[in-house]
Amino acid sequence: MDELLTGSVIAVNGPIVKAVGLKGIGMFDIAEVGPDRLIGEVIRLAGEITIIQVYEDNTGLKPGDEVISYGRPLSVLLGPGLIANIYDGIQRPLVGISEVCGSYIRKGIKLSPLDTAKRWDFKPLVSSGTEVKEGSIVGEVQESPLVLHRVLVPPGVSGRLTRIADAGAYTIEETIFVVDTASGAFKGKLAVYWPVRKPRPNKNRKKPFVPLITGQRVIDTFFPIARGGTAAIPGGFGTGKTMTQHALAKWCNADIIVYIGCGERGNEMTDVLTDFPKLIDERNGRPLIERTVMIANTSNMPVPAREVSIYTGVTIAEYYRDMGYSVAVMADSTSRWAEALRELSSRLGDMPAEEGFPPYLGTRLAEFYERAGLVETLSGADGDITIVGAVSPPGGDFSEPVTQHTSRFVRCFWALDKTLADARHYPSISWIDSYTEYLIDIEDWWKNLDAEWLATRNEVMNILLEDHRLEQVVKLVGSDALPPSEQYILFCAEMIKNAFLQQNSFDPQDKFCSPEKQIKLLKSLLTLYKKGLERVHAGVSVKDIAALTVVSEIVRLKSEIPNQDLAKIDEYVLRLEQGLSALKPPS
């Protein structure tokens, strides 16, 4: 192991390099290419020829240039210091890179992903002599005010702990503990390497049952996702994929956020970087950046590194999951990852399947989403990873391969609707085309808040579905041709859209809506529907109901009543009931 292999370049086609001579090199090993020692990964072995994809700009590379390898797989360095950090697709620290070479990313820069000089306050939790197994927690480090970093015995290591460091400050390179294993002494440090393409092991997978609360009404109430679940957000450009992912990264109640900007805009990552240190998590009064890890391989950065970026992100997520945390991964956009895959496979001359994508697109997507889940970790605690992937279908057409394959592997589908986005109805998540398979799994959690939650949700959903059906009729004959009770459904649906579904991410009150507030708002609308419908049947006109002052006030409750002040909503409901009862049919 770690023996130096050398070879030489024979051909260069974009980021794909063919080399000969590297005897004994393995698949997915790192290769350093050319005089700049550009980082590459072995992606195929064909007889004498090693095919390497290079993760940096390789212009100027020539046949005859040297290639070296230590026979180690492409890996992520996991340890304290990941939080609040930002990396490129192959985990090079962007802050460090800017210190070395300014505003632009130059090639051939090698920096440790974690600060090797920083000393972390380590607290041992077991004493020497204890039997430890893979996943055992031997100590902890306060990584950020929000994250207590647990130091784990790595997978595959077990035996008697022969040494553990005293409480004190250590760097990630110092030996912190030693385990006497069957194959010799294992020296544990605060940081470990893990191959980026290999899922970290767990004891067993469990069925998710707790909702990930996002504070976004259309998601939590209508299309909820469980912690440990998977969701896709497909939508054409400008429909709100990124804003939705930003909103989730800001307000969802996971312990750790891994935000992967995969082939998207540079300024969107800058937005996260400028916003998150300032935004305060209401649950603990700390800046959101203190629970966030960022991967940025933007559209103008090398394409092959885009392909790895989602694995880098999800491996980091697994590492925190293994400490017993609830981790949410945002991948924006998985389509750019798929396109990177397509570009590389086409340079390799693979036979394409649909729209030029390689035949293994589906398998790769499945493998990625499979890394989500609620698991019993090796240490016996529960930990989970929720994956939310944006999908960017060409022309906004959901029948294309990436959307189609993704929909097979996710259990929650938040379909963004162009018409809603054009009308600036955000989030433009369609209540007709979206679905979730987690409703039943998480019902018990909501029942604790309100026994009738699911029934209320379904009743309101039915109003929306009925509205959708009636809209088709209205398009042909106009709404005046409908009987009053149906006109009333249209009116109530409009109210639900404006007072509940539509939610403004820039409004200080409305950006996050607590589950309790969601229930109250929903019930006030259901009261409007049920009580109002009785009055309509009694001959009261829809117009008169719509003209009630309290009705126009209900539309504003979402942004006028803070999450802490919900009793106020009851007052409006009372006034609504009184107002409705007072209405008389025209004589």
Partner 1 sequence: MPAEIEYTNLSGISGPLIFVDGINGVGYGDIVEIRDASGVLRIGQTLEVDEQRAVVQVFEGTSGLSVQGTRVTFVGRALEIPVDREMLGRVFDGLGRPIDGAPQVITDKMMNVNGLPINPWSREYPRDFIQTGISAIDGMNTLIRGQKLPIFSGSGMPHNRIAAQIARQAKILSAGEEFTVIFAAMGVKFDVARFFIDSLEESGVLTHSAIFLSLADSPSIERLVTPRSALTLAEYLAFEENMHVLVILTDMTNYCEALRELSSSRGEIPSRKGYPGYLYSDLASVYERAGRLKGGKGSITQVPILTMPSDDISHPVPDLTGYITEGQIVLERDLFNKGIYPPIAGLPSLSRLMKDGIGEGRTRKDHGQVAAQLFASYAKVKRIRALAAIVGEEELSGLDKIYLKFGTAFEEVYLSQAYEENRSIEQTLDIGWRMLSLLPRDELYRIAREDIQRYYMPQKEEDK
* Residue 506 lies near ligand ADP (rule: CB under 6 A): yes
Radius of gyration of the chain (CA): 27
The least CB distance from residue 233 to ligand ADP, in Å, is 8
Cα 423 to Cα 45, 95, 427, 503, distances in angstroms: 52, 39, 11, 13
**Residue of 134, 174, 180, 271 that binds partner 1 (CB under 8 A):** 271
Residues of this chain that bind Mg ion (CB under 5 A): 241-242
Angle 403-404-407 from CA coordinates, rounded to 5°? 80
Residue 62 interacting partner from ligand ADP, Mg ion, partner 1, none (CB closer than 5 to 8 Å by kind)? partner 1
Residue 498 interacting partner from Mg ion, ligand ADP, partner 1, none (CB closer than 5 to 8 Å by kind)? partner 1
Q: Which are the contacts of 500, defined by CB distance < 8 A and separation ≥ 6?
A: 217, 218, 221, 460, 521, 522, 525, 558
H/E segment holding residue 329: strand 326-332
The least CB distance from residue 551 to ligand ADP, in Å, is 24
Binding flags for partner 1, 229-248, as an x/- string (CB under 8 A): -------xxx----------
* Residue 336 lies near partner 1 (rule: CB under 8 A): yes
Q: What is the DSSP letter of 113?
A: S
Residues binding ligand ADP: number (CB under 6 A): 13
Residue 235 interacting partner from ligand ADP, Mg ion, partner 1, none (CB closer than 5 to 8 Å by kind)? ligand ADP
Residues binding partner 1: number (CB under 8 A): 74
Nearer to partner 1, 295 or 540 (CB): 295
Site of tokens 């979730």: 436
In our burial notation (b when 16+ CB lie closer than 10 A, e otherwise), range 499-533 reads bbbbbebeeebbbbbbbebbbbbbbbbbbbbebbb
Write the DSSP string, 338-349.
HHHHHHHHHHTT
**Residue of 116, 181, 346, 563 that binds partner 1 (CB under 8 A):** 346
* Residue 115 lies near partner 1 (rule: CB under 8 A): no
The least CB distance from residue 359 to partner 1, in Å, is 13
In our burial notation (b when 16+ CB lie closer than 10 A, e otherwise), range 484-495 reads bebbbbbbbbeb
The least CB distance from residue 81 to partner 1, in Å, is 16
In contact, 402 and 391? CB cutoff 8 Å = yes
The least CB distance from residue 21 to partner 1, in Å, is 13
Q: Which are the contacts of 49, defined by CB distance < 8 A and separation ≥ 6?
A: 10, 18, 19, 20
The least CB distance from residue 268 to Mg ion, in Å, is 7
* Residue 168 lies near partner 1 (rule: CB under 8 A): no
Q: Which are the contacts of 159, defined by CB distance < 8 A and separation ≥ 6?
A: 131, 132, 179, 180, 181, 182, 186
**Residue of 427, 515, 532, 579 that binds ligand ADP (CB under 6 A):** 427
Residues numbered 445 to 504 that lie near ligand ADP (CB under 6 A) are 504
Cα 127 to Cα 136, 162, 199, 496, distances in angstroms: 12, 9, 30, 59
Residue 240 interacting partner from ligand ADP, partner 1, Mg ion, none (CB closer than 5 to 8 Å by kind)? ligand ADP
Residue 545 interacting partner from partner 1, Mg ion, ligand ADP, none (CB closer than 5 to 8 Å by kind)? none
With contacts defined by CB under 6 A, name the span among 116-124, 237-245, 351-359, 446-454 that binds ligand ADP.
237-245
Q: Identify which of 231, 583, 563, 152 has the alpha carbon closest to the alpha carbon of residue 412.
A: 231
Residues numbered 485 to 544 that lie near partner 1 (CB under 8 A) are 498, 504, 506
Residues numbered 277 to 316 that lie near partner 1 (CB under 8 A) are 296, 298-303
351 is written with which tokens? 């036979």
Residue 166 interacting partner from partner 1, Mg ion, ligand ADP, none (CB closer than 5 to 8 Å by kind)? none
**Residue of 81, 229, 235, 401 that binds ligand ADP (CB under 6 A):** 235
Positions touching ligand ADP (CB under 6 A) are 235, 237-243, 426-427, 504-506
